[in-house]
Structure 1
Amino acid sequence: MNTILKYTCPIALAIALTACGGSNSTKSEPITTASDLTDSSTTITQPEAVYNLHPDDVAEYVEEFKYKYDQLELQIDGVQYDISVHSTDVEKKVIYARYEKGFLSFGFDFIEGVPLAKLYVIETGTEDLGAAHEEVDAYLAGYDISIEFDDDDNAIYTGRLNNITQQDFNVRLVINDSVVSSGSTTLAIEGAIATIKGELGTKTYIQVQDLINNNPEVTTLLLQTITGSVDDDINSHTGRLVRNAQLTTKVEKGSRIYSGGVDLFASGYQRVYESGAIVGVHSWCCESGKTADQLSEDDPAHKSQLTYFREMLGDELGPEFYFFTINAAPFDSIHEMSDAEMSKYLLKDD
């Protein structure tokens, strides 16, 4: 069975919030404190830093993603269009994408990591997927769709499209694992504030890296609606970009951030929480068939996340917050944090 899933571990969540766990690669050198350098008799060894995606490998990972993302394309009767991931629906086994004339959707089994022979195209003038079905210029349903793989591990859908006037069009769609790890965030800059929304992924890392490199006037990252993260490994490195740049993260009344969105919020050098924002946490799934809350606290599957939260919240509070999140709600549900919980874990200023 051909699969195109390499870097992510998607989960069928009833509310389509994704968080990942998995095997770990380690950086084995112990982290030492300043006292170690002056008194060898009182060496304090902190837990080793563990990464599912090692910092030394991030640049190569991002370049590989860009190469694969550039290969995505849609052809209708020989006319070629670039596509970009809009959103995913794990439960319905569908990925939605944007193209020049509207939207397309194609089948994808997130559990097995394989494409499914389903393809639909909506030509519409609206950029709102929810409104697209009400503002349709043309609706094209795929049939006789087949899928083959090339030597670059691209999945190539071919077949026919048919519209309500019974016109037929040849169709060809090229996808690869970049559609799963991309995410769908958009980032807009206004003055000193950059506003981000969508589903976090590798695309988000690239956006934030570009933001930091090219917009020194920006001091605050405002999180609006963040549905989660399609890849917690790259999301942790996005958080490290934010922390190293000493950006403030902010949620305002009306913000709704979940799962990996909370991880990103925690990365702020300062964090601003406005009453009315929803901050939702839950367990992740799965490692050896078990959800995170079913694993012992010393299970190696926790180590990468523990490394991240120690960096963001400190050696004591970081692990405490991480274990709070995975025990607060099952992986297919959500716990909305109270003001008291936000204060306890230093996610809001009192």
Structure 2
Amino acid sequence: MKTLRLIFTFFIASSILISCSDDSNSPQTPNTTRQFGIFKVLDDNTTIEMDGTIGSSALNDFNALVASFPNITKINIKNCDGSSDDTVNLQLSEKVHQKGINIHLMDNGEIASGGVDFFLAGIQRTKGSNTRIGVHAWAAGENTTATDFPVGHANHLPYINYYVSVGFTQQQAEAFYYFTINAAPASGIHWMTAAEIAQYNIVTQ
């Protein structure tokens, strides 16, 4: 009986050791990454540096970022040439605005197309020196572009409504939107002048 008890005790102890060494049951190592797609959290834990095209994963990346770093107050954009998914871009931009985040376009930085829409999400919007802000008409496929639709068409509303949601008046939203789609074709780009940037309230100060 004593021998059986020792064997049984050894079996239980071994099972406990195996269980404790199983990674699936051990505490997870905290996520210490600071890079979330095109977003990078700086050492102050309140500022994001953004660099790249806004793609389909951008909203999920941003959600993961703010889950780990909930005190973000500012986004510094190095470069953003646009978005490959306009729906995600507008959803992401609205979330940034709702969280009360300021956005700054860094010295020598560039934003274009959907990158400009994202920039407008900032509560305060500032820019450094030697920056470029580019706009053009959107396209849906190879044969359809924004200017194919008359003023007031439903296909224009997602963008106009977005501008209103980030603080533009209806009149300002419509004026800027129709300016962008007529400034350059989808295959081109119009770099806004200082006068146009002021006229359409691109920066807040």
The TM tier, using the shorter chain, reads 0.7 to 0.9
Length, aligned pairs only:
167
Q: Give the aligned CA root-mean-square deviation in angstroms.
A: 1.9
- 1:195 alignment partner in structure 2: 49
TM-score by length of 1: 0.45
- Contiguous gaps of at least 5 residues in structure 1: 1-183
Amino acid at match of 1:189: V
One-letter code aligned to 1:261: G
Matches of 1:256 and 1:198, distance apart in 2: 10
Determine the C-alpha separation between the residues in 2 that align with 1:257 and 1:296: 27
CA distance 1:224–1:292, change in 2 (3 Å)? same
1:328 aligns with 2:152: no
Task: Report if the CA contact (8 A) 1:200-1:230 is conserved.
Answer: yes
SS in 2 for 1:218: coil
1 or 2, which has the higher strand percentage? 1
Contact 1:196 1:221 in 2 (8 A): yes
Matching of residues 143-162 of structure 1 within 5 Å: none
Aligned partner of 1:69 in structure 2 is none
Indicate which of 231, 234, 249 corresponds to 2:88.
234
Stretches of 4+ moved more than 6 A in 1? none
Q: How much does 1:317 deviate?
A: 0.9
Query: Between Structure 1 and Structure 2, which shows a larger proportion of helix residues?
Result: 2
2:195 matches 1:343: no
TM-score (norm 2): 0.75
Give 1:211 shift. Answer: 2.7
Deviation for aligned residue 1:238: 0.2
| 1:1-350 equivalences in 2 (<5 Å) | 185-190=37-42, 191=44, 192-286=46-140, 289-312=143-166, 313-350=168-205
Answer whether contact 1:311 1:318 (CA < 8 A) is retained. Answer: no
Amino acid at match of 1:338: T
2:195 maps to a residue whose letter is A
Q: Secondary structure at the match of 2:170?
A: coil
Q: Report the AA paired with residue 286 of structure 1.
A: A
Superposed CA deviations along residues 107-135 of structure 1, whole A, max 9, x for unmatched, are xxxxxxxxxxxxxxxxxxxxxxxxxxxxx
Note if contact 2:134-2:189 (Cα within 8 Å) is conserved in structure 1: yes
